[in-house]
Structure 1
Amino acid sequence: MLKKLFGKKEPVKTIQLYSPLTGNAVSLEKVPDPVFSEKMMGDGLAIEPSEGIAVSPVDGEIIQVFPTKHAIGIRAKNGAEILIHIGLETVSLNGEGFEAFVSEGDKVKVGDKLVSFDLEIIKTKAKSTVTPIIITNTDQAMPFEMSATGHVERGTSQVLELTMK
């Protein structure tokens, strides 16, 4: 009994990943960039955003905010490393139209605002607004599939269940 109360807690292995954006969820294979569509950086999904706000898809810690604010890395409580890459070829915007609300080391919960972005600037100055959400350490995860396609809401629509090995 006491061992149950005071013993070591088992680490979290399975988490729910919620949509970081409101928009249309699609498979990575439909992303018009081979780095993402061929899963060179890892597996995941993509969302065509209908509004310019990205929120945390998991409870975790910010491990990277790119200087151009177009991409954010998060480590979930189960060790999954998630990259949210807003738009394609948006690094060339040098931060124009992006505002970050988090910094490296910040703790976040599902739904916490990460970054806002101007969809019109991305539509006119970058290749695409489609936003890949990549599990960059897919090799350490059990196989998974998207659990949502079509319309998703940021912070509330579950898009996949992720179990780490």
Structure 2
Amino acid sequence: MFKKWFGKKQSEEETIVAPLSGTVVPLEDVPDPVFAQKMMGDGIAIDPTDGDVVAPVDGEVIQLFPTKHAVGLRSEAGVELLIHVGIDTVAMNGEGFTAHVQAGDRVKRGERLLSVDFSLVREKAKSAITPIIITNGDALATLEKKAEGSATKGETVLFHVKMK
């Protein structure tokens, strides 16, 4: 009832699409133990092939890191996502990253969030592999990972979730 008062859609199920185009990588294969051991939550990673990062759901930007290497979103159904572009990219201090949104913005699936110079990321960071993490997994009844192989931003289904 509380969510209804504030106009948020209380949806039981949600489909989350790829925020980047590239090759899907199991989270366990990400070259960073924080992600590989799922310390921040479960998810999938993508080794990107182009520099656009788009919204994987309709929702709200709840955090944009000052270095623009990561963005947090909350979907209409309440799923909280972290898109962490590359590994050890925080040390780039925003170089090669352009934000098209800010915290508090409402976004639609497929809307551009960030532009990234992945050739620079590959040169200066440990990896361009980008984890997509569900950070509030305790709020989910089910999490089905759908994607394997290649992903197309804004189209390929990564997850199907059902809220508790």
Q: TM-score, normalised by structure 2?
A: 0.93
Alignment correspondent of 1:3: none
Alignment correspondent of 2:27: 28
C-alpha change, 1:124 and 1:111, in structure 2 (3 Å) is same
Please give the residue correspondences for 1:1-165 in structure 2 after superposition, counting only pairs within 5 Å. Answer: 11-165=10-164
4+ residue runs over 2 A deviation: none
CA contact (8 A) 2:69 2:85 kept: yes
Query: Is the partner of 1:73 in helix, strand or coil?
Result: strand
Question: 1:12-58: per-residue Cα shift (whole Å, max 9, x none)?
Answer: 12110000000001210110111001000000100000011100000
For residue 46 of structure 1, what is the amino acid of its counterpart? A
Matched-pair identity in %? 51
Query: Is the partner of 2:16 in helix, strand or coil?
Result: strand
How far, CA to CA, are the matches of 2:8 and 2:51 in structure 1? 39
Question: 1:65-100: per-residue Cα shift (whole Å, max 9, x none)?
Answer: 000000000000111100000000000000000000
Q: Which runs of 5+ in 1 are unaligned?
A: 1-7
How far, CA to CA, are the matches of 2:135 and 2:34 in structure 1? 12
C-alpha change, 1:117 and 1:153, in structure 2 (3 Å) is same
How far, CA to CA, are the matches of 1:10 and 1:51 in structure 2? 32
Q: Which structure is higher in strand share?
A: 2
- State the 1:9 CA deviation: 9.6
* Equivalent pairs, count: 158
- State the 1:143 CA deviation: 3.0
Query: Is the partner of 1:143 in helix, strand or coil?
Result: strand
- State the 1:146 CA deviation: 1.4
For residue 132 of structure 1, what is the amino acid of its counterpart? P
Query: Is the partner of 2:23 in helix, strand or coil?
Result: strand
How far, CA to CA, are the matches of 1:21 and 1:142 in structure 2? 26
CA contact (8 A) 2:83 2:133 kept: yes
How far, CA to CA, are the matches of 2:60 and 2:150 in structure 1? 27
Q: Which runs of 5+ in 2 are unaligned?
A: 1-6
Query: Is the partner of 1:142 in helix, strand or coil?
Result: strand
